[in-house]
Amino acid sequence: MVEESRVENTAKERDFLVLSGISKRYGGVVALENVDFACERGKIHAVLGENGAGKSTLIKIVAGVVQPDAGTMRLEGEEVRFPSPSSANAAGVASIFQELSLLPDLSVADNISITSPPRRLGFIDTKAQRRRAEALLAEIGCEDVNPLMRVRDLPLSRRQMVEIAKALGQKPQLFVLDEATSALTSADVEKVYAMLARLKAQNIAILYISHRMHEVEALADRASVFRNGRHIETFDWGRRSTGEIVQLMIGRDIATQYPPKPLRPKGKPALKLGNLCWERRLEAISLEVAAGEIVGLGGLDGQGQKTLLLALFGVLRGVTGEIVINGKPVRPSSPAFAKSPSVGIALVPEDRKTEGLMLPMSIADNLAIASLHTLETGPFVDRAKERSAVEKGIARLRIKVGDSKDAVSTLSGGNQQKVVIAKWLMTEPGIILLNDPTRGIDVGTKQEIYRLMRELADQGVAILFYSTDYDELIGCCDRVAIMYDGRIVRELEGTDLTEHNIITSALNIDGAAATSPPGEATHV
Amino acid sequence: MTAASLNISLSRDARPILISASFILVILIAGTFYTLSRLGTAPLLSPTYLLQQLQIGSFLGIVAAGMMIVILISQIDLSVPWTLTAAAMMATAVGGPWALPVGLGVGLLVGLVNGIGVAYLRIPSMIFTLGVNAVMRGLMVAHTGGFAPQTAATDLMRWLAADHSFGIPNALFVWLAVSALVALILRRMALGRYIYAIGNKEAAAYLAGVNTRGVIITCFVLCGIAAGLAGVLLAGYSTKAYQGMGDAYLLPSIAAVVIGGTNILGGRGRYLGTLVGVILIVLLNSVLSIMEMPEAGRQVIYGSVIILMLLVYGRGEKVTS
């Protein structure tokens, strides 16, 4: 008892933010249950846990996005209540969420100063606003972003940096980052690290949520682990090993991170690209993916990897060059054509919330939407067929579902991504294109996705897999094609497939030296 | 975890329908109370009177059925008034056995133009269909010289719109058939699922391999045909076509859809709601006319009711992206 009250006293002195007894439920789902949590000034406090552990809800409560059902929140000893995000901002809490909050049709400068633009005679002072944006962007090392550009025209990674600059502009006392680095390139991540170190030196409290353990390892001073809506443990970083932390997060052991790669002769080429070009974004792409093979697309963000996937899926107009599928030349003109049985391509898109799912619709509707035409009897959707197909999809990916009639938005991020993947598996594709499918997803689900990819490959599916995570590419892929400026600069395979090789090729460091065409570069 | 509305998701679609159904009861009770105290009769409780009102309402109901499909894909069709008028004028001008097919054909054609404009030319439907409405109006004025056309409705049109079978107006059967068809499309067919999907997130539907352009065109064609059918029936009911006969159908049809709980931004809503919305508007109109409310007062009340209903539904529902 004595011990406990002493801890409480010191907590009152040092802690910047203290939550006690916070609970939150969404309908029947308990998101947080009786959570006590505290964080200090001048420390980077990592919040760890699987998707659905309650991290996002915790952050949303701190940021004033949702209100707790019970419990109190104290800021520097004073009880506070944030009925809206702006009240949290006013109290010095700036947050960056997994979902971006930028307005796509406004300029970068407009977005950065959206809540309190500099004014002159009552009108927005655009020059001051622009200078402010330039200064903030410079602070995070993004001088290359033009503040007058529309946010819509920026790639995702740059948008994320703009979001960070915007939060920084609010002069926060508590800075909250929820998966803020998941869309960033490694160069940008370094810049964010440097910025966080500066904020820390300014005695600002920082809450950091990331599924990337190496980031947490590099940054955290303290860490709290959450599981199933409960606060499990808070400790100074270094007091627990990574293995122990993972154990705390998932409550079970993870043996191997990646499924083993089978050694077997290459199958027949399922997908063959010859001299594929689109505008100036794809230049002379030649690539083969065999049945049963997982081929990775690597390189820095925005070098044409996503464009290539979209071109194959028939989204882009004016693609030239050759696409050969199972020996037959095809010209995908729309996703509807690309998914037809004779082509058999599936795409798991970049942004599951806007491109992968119809969030307000039910889980069952979302699962069935791509294969609905195969579930018809006469002019009507056959409900029995549909139900059994949906159940099969849910079971195959072990999606955690209460009722398949619930809106898909009620699922956690990892389970939502499983719905997107299951939807496409229901069309029985021969070629699967994956656009960064594990972004912002918990460790457990990531591993399930890796295993599933290998399982599908074993069944003869050809997989083309873009990821911003090099570790993942090395662990999952039989071969990785590195793209730079719309071209494939190198293909890595076997023992060549190392982080060092990926990074040097991605930066095109040896681009001048390696004049040999990509196909030959793989032979050592 | 964005959906804080999990607990009300079950009743979310049913709530507006229940609210408007109870509002219908309020109208009936208040109207009856008024007529009893003033005239000593209760026409609102007489089946003959109600059937007559529903007969007039069936034209609105058919227009609203089409409008709902277009609103569900988060579009709108403002060309309905002159699509309806053009269909009526063309049908009476052709006459004979071809009158009905020609009327429906006009609707189909206008819908096709609307659909292509929205799906392929990517012009916002609010502007495109407004333009098409003006074009149709110009064409009809040119066709008639600006006068009331001298042609008359065919016997079939009159039978469908004005006659009774088993004591029930035939127009009601037509409305019922249209309703059954729309409900089947929305609830049981793949097309219906695609309509909701497009209304919720067109990009996601497109990337799921849905032929979004085809679905959008189909929706506008269905709406055009519905307007055409309503025009043919209305001409049958009035025995002829006349200038501006469709003008009174645009706002009420949109209102009926929205009052029935269909999200004006698309993606959500049940057909039963539209049905209830139409009945509500028809009864409100007839009560106001029994009360001998002047036109100006009627417009004010009518508009206020729509806004009121929307306020009631809007409570507690955030527009989230």
Residues 228-267 of B with CB under 8 A from A: 267
Q: What's the pLDDT score for residue A381?
A: 92
Q: Dig out the tokens for B143 from the structure.
A: 């066709």
Confidence of residue A520 (pLDDT cuts 50, 70, 90): very low
Put simply, the answer to whether B193 touches A381 (Cβ < 8 Å) is yes
pLDDT above 70 (res B56):
yes
pLDDT tier at A299, thresholds 50, 70, 90: confident
Residue A6 pLDDT: 42
Distance CA B276, CA B258 (A): 11
- The least confident of A248-252, A408-412, A492-496, B298-302 is A248-252
Q: Specify whether A387 is located in the same domain as A449.
A: yes
- The whole-number pLDDT of residue B314 equals 59
Asked whether residue A233 is domain-assigned, the answer is yes
Mean pLDDT of B91-95: 88
- A237 and A335 assigned to the same domain: no
Query: What integer pLDDT is reported at residue A518 of this predicted model?
Result: 42
Block residue for tokens 């009774």: B164
| Interval A100-120 mean pLDDT | 85
Band of residue A114 on the pLDDT scale cut at 50, 70, 90? confident
What does the pLDDT average to over B215-240?
94
Contacts of B19 (CB under 8 A, 6+ apart): B309, B312, B313
Nearest to A161 by CA among A127, A132, A136, A128: A136
The confidence score (pLDDT) of residue B74 equals 92
pLDDT at position A27 is 59
Mean pLDDT of all residues in B125-142? 93
Residue A372 touches partner B, C-beta closer than 8 Å: yes
Mean pLDDT of chain B: 87
pLDDT tens per residue, range B192-201: 999 999 999 9
**Which of the four pLDDT bands, split at 50, 70 and 90, describes residue A350?**
confident
Q: How far apart are CA A465 and CA A436, in angstroms?
A: 7
All residues of chain A having their beta carbon less than 8 Å from the beta carbon of residue B7 are 26-28
The residues, any chain, with a CB within 8 Å of residue A363's CB and separated by 6 or more, are A390, A394, A399, A401, A404, A405, A406, A407, A408, A411, A419
Contact A57, A225 (CB under 8 A): no
Q: What average pLDDT does range B22-29 have in this prediction?
A: 89
Give the count of alpha carbons within 13 A of A328, CB side only: 7
Predicted local confidence at residue A96, as pLDDT: 86
For residues B200 and A361, is the Cβ–Cβ distance under 8 A? yes
Chain B residues near residue A56 by CB distance under 8 angstroms: 1
* Mean pLDDT along residues A21-46: 85
- Residues forming a β-bridge with A407: A362
Q: What is the pLDDT of residue A1?
A: 40
Joined together, the tokens standing for residue A422 give 């299951």
* Residue finishing a domain among A194, A217, A250: A250
Report which of A102, A65, A99 is spatially closest to residue A84, judged by C-alpha positions.
A65
Does an H or E element contain A296, and which? strand A294-298
Q: Within this chain, do residues A389 and A511 fall inside the same structural domain, yes or no?
A: yes
Query: Three-state SS across A140-181?
Result: CCCCCCCCCCEHHHCCHHHHHHHHHHHHHCCCCCEEEEECCC
The answer to whether residue A56 neighbours chain B at the CB level (below 8 Å) is: yes
Give the angle A81-A83-A85 at the CA atoms, nearest 5°: 105
Contacts of A406 (CB under 8 A, 6+ apart): A362, A363, B6, B9
Picking from A98, A45, A156, the residue whose alpha carbon sits closest to that of residue A442 is A98
Mean residue pLDDT across chain A: 84
Question: Which candidate from B1, B4, B204 shows the least CB-CB separation from A354?
Answer: B204
Contacts of A517 (CB under 8 A, 6+ apart): none
Cβ-based contacts of A372 with chain B (< 8 Å): 190, 193-194
Give DSSP secondary structure letters for B220-270.
HHHHHHHHHHHHHHHHHHHSS--TTTTGGGHHHHHHHHHHTT--TTSS---
The CATH number of residue A107's host domain is 3.40.50.300
Chain B CB contacts of A31 under 8 Å are 1
Tokens 């680095």 locate to: A181
Q: How many domains does chain A have?
A: 2
Predicted local confidence at residue B216, as pLDDT: 96
Quick check: B114 and B237 in contact, CB under 8 A? no
Domain boundary among A219, A250, A281: A250
* Residue A368 neighbours by CB under 8 Å, 6+ apart: A375, A381, A386, A389, A390, A423, A426, B193
**Per-residue pLDDT tens digits for B41-54:** 888 888 888 899 99
* Beta carbons within 8 Å of A217's beta carbon, 6+ residues apart: A237, A242
Nearest CA in chain B to A405: B10
Last residue of a domain, one of A250, A280, A296: A250
Rounded average pLDDT over A126-132:
88
Q: A396 and A456: one domain?
A: yes
Look at strands A44-48 and A222-227 and give their pairing.
parallel
Q: At what angle do helices A156-168 and A126-139 cross, to 10 degrees?
A: 110
CA distance B10 to chain A (A): 9
Structure-token pair, residue A1:
């008892």
Q: What backbone phi and psi angles, to 5 degrees, belong to A74?
A: -120, 135
How high is the ipTM of this complex?
A: 0.84
Please tell me whether residues A243 and A273 are part of one structural domain.
no
Higher pLDDT, B16 or A21: A21
Segment among A114-123, A272-281, A451-460 with least mean pLDDT:
A114-123
Q: Which amino acid is at A461?
A: V
Is residue A29 very low, low, confident or very high in pLDDT (cuts 50, 70, 90)?
A: low
Q: Given pLDDT bands bounded at 50, 70 and 90, which one contains residue A89? A: confident
Q: CA B173 to CA B171: how far, in whole Å?
A: 5
> Distance (Å, rounded) from C-alpha B257 to C-alpha B306?
11
Q: Is A277 exposed, middle or buried (0-12, 13-18, 19+ CB in 10 A)?
A: middle
Strands B168-169 and A44-48: unpaired
Q: What average pLDDT does range B171-191 have in this prediction?
A: 95
A203 pLDDT higher than 60? yes
Domain of residue A309: give its range: 269-521
* Confidence category of residue B129, pLDDT binned at 50, 70, 90: very high
A214 and A90 fall within a common domain: yes
The arithmetic mean of pLDDT across residues A31-60, rounded, is 86
* Number of other CB atoms surrounding residue A241 within 10 Å: 9
Whether residues B2 and A409 touch (CB distance < 8 A) is answered with: yes
A372 closest CB neighbour out of B193, B206, B268: B193
8 A C-beta contact, residue A385 and residue A415: no
Q: Which of A405, A420, A408, A358 is nearest to B198 (CA)?
A: A358
Alpha carbons B228 and B178: distance in angstroms, whole number: 13
Which candidate, B141, B267, B140, B143, places its Cα nearest to that of B199? B267
Provide the pLDDT confidence category of residue B319 given band limits of 50, 70 and 90. Answer: very low
Residue A218's pLDDT is what?
85
Do A273 and A246 belong to one domain?
no
Which residues are CB-contacts of A514 (< 8 A; sequence separation ≥ 6)?
A: A489, A490, A521
Is residue B208 less than 8 Å (CB to CB) from chain A? yes
Same domain, A370 and A494: yes
Give B5-51 as a DSSP string: TGGGTTTTTHHHHHHHHHHHHHHHHHHHHHHHHHTS--GGG-HHHHH
- Both A215 and A295 in one domain: the answer is no
Out of B184, B189, B200, the one facing A358 most closely (by C-beta) is B200
In this structure, is the dihedral angle defined by the CA atoms of residues A313, A317, A321 and A327, taken in order, positive or negative?
positive
CA–CA dist A452, A411 (Å, integer): 20
- pLDDT of res. A509: 61
Q: Is B6 in Cβ contact with A335 (below 8 Å)?
A: no
Between CA A57 and CA A79 the distance in angstroms is: 19
One domain for residues A194 and A299: no
Q: Please give the residue that has the higher pLDDT: either A246 or A318.
A: A318
Q: Please check whether residue B207 touches A, CB under 8 A.
A: yes
Closest CA to B144 of B45, B242, B9: B242
Question: How is A417-435 classified by DSSP, letter by letter?
Answer: HHHHHHHHHTT--SEEEEE
What single-letter amino acid sits at A317?
A: R
Residue A2, pLDDT score: 41
Across the interface, of B6, B196, B200, the residue whose CB is closest to A27 is B6
User: Mean of the pLDDT values across residues B191-216?
Assistant: 94
Of A479, A476, A515, A514, whose CA–CA distance to A497 is shortest? Answer: A479
B193 touches chain A (CB under 8 A): yes
B184: which chain A residues are within 8 Å (Cβ-Cβ)? 380
pLDDT band at B232 (very low <50, low <70, confident <90, very high): very high
Tell me how far CA of residue A182 lies from CA of A240, A481, B30, B151, B268, in angstroms. Answer: 24, 21, 60, 70, 32
If asked whether residues A244 and A273 sit together in one domain, one would say no
Q: Is residue A160 in some structural domain?
A: yes
Mean pLDDT, rounded, for B246-267: 89
On whether residue A263 sits in a domain, the answer given is: no
Task: Tell me the two tokens of residue A370.
Answer: 């791509």
Among A57, A349, A369, the residue with its CB nearest the CB of B1 is A57
Predicted confidence at residue B5, as pLDDT, reads 40
Residue A185 has pLDDT above 80, yes or no: no
Q: What are phi and psi of B267, to 5 degrees?
A: 90, -15
CA distance A386 to chain B (A): 11
| Structure confidence by residue, pLDDT tens digits, A51-66 | 667 888 888 899 888 8
Same domain, A422 and A277: yes
Does residue A280 or residue B215 have the better pLDDT? B215
Of the pLDDT bands very low, low, confident and very high (cuts 50, 70, 90), residue B309 is confident
Please, what's the b/e burial string for B62-91 (b: 16 or more CB within 10 A of its CB; e: otherwise)? bbbbbbbbbbbbbbbbbbbbbbbbbbbbbb
The residues spanned by each domain of chain B are 60-255+264-271
A261 assigned to some structural domain: no
